[in-house]
Amino acid sequence: MKVGILSFQGSFFDHSKSIETIGYSPVFIKHDTNIQDLDALILPGGESTAMNKINNYQNIFNDLDILIKSGIPTLSTCAGTILLANQVVGGNITIPNIDIQITRNAYGRQTESFEGSVSFFDNEDIYCFIRAPKITQLLSDDVKVIAKHDSDIVGVQQKNIVALTFHPELNNDRYYLDWLHNFIKEGKNVRTF
């Protein structure tokens, strides 16, 4: 199975290692020619403002929007979740596909990055929050909370999209890798797990 990873900048290489570990093929998306025949999509962490600037030259966000709306399993982490949010506090709406309000740099700047305990579905583990955004409001009953750090919502699912504000690809723990394998394997129009 081919998993496209937006590769403008950020943690795309770490996501590719996760994809290879579970036996799938990563495809680095840098141009619109890289999005044909994908089975799943990942929008990685990084810097959402930089990704938007790079897209001004590459102009592939419209194609990614069509791909996401087609029902392809889509995972976003950190800045990737900012790109998909319908409301962005402190930033621009980019590829609105998930009914959340997100606040950029909600935990602070780079020096306030941290590792914290996250309840992700029925698993508890330590994950990295790097200049992380925060999901500050759910805008639809269609959005299901799937991950929490203390009382903060740090992961949601809506239809074929799973949006996280932390970086599971840096841990690659067994639970996350098994979940990722099954999420991608469910295929087009995945709704529940």
Sequence-ordered list of residues with C-beta below 8 angstroms from that of 103, at least 6 positions apart, any chain? 89, 90, 133, 134, 136
Instruction: Find tokens 């999901």 and name the residue.
Output: 135
Q: Report, as residue numbers or ranges, the catalytic residues.
A: 78, 167, 169
Q: Give the integer Cα–Cα distance in Å for 187 and 129.
A: 28
**Mapping DSSP to helix (H, G, I), strand (E, B) and coil, where does residue 14 land?**
helix
Q: Is 29 left (phi over 0), alpha (psi -120 to 50) or beta?
A: beta
Terminal Cα-to-Cα distance of the chain (whole angstroms): 19
Distances (CA, A) of 45 to 64, 92, 107, 140, 166: 16, 16, 15, 24, 8
Give buried/exposed letters for 88-117 (b at 16+ CB in 10 A, else e): bbebeebbebbbbebbbbbbeeeeeeeeee
**Mapping DSSP to helix (H, G, I), strand (E, B) and coil, where does residue 182 land?**
helix
Largest CA distance in the chain: 41
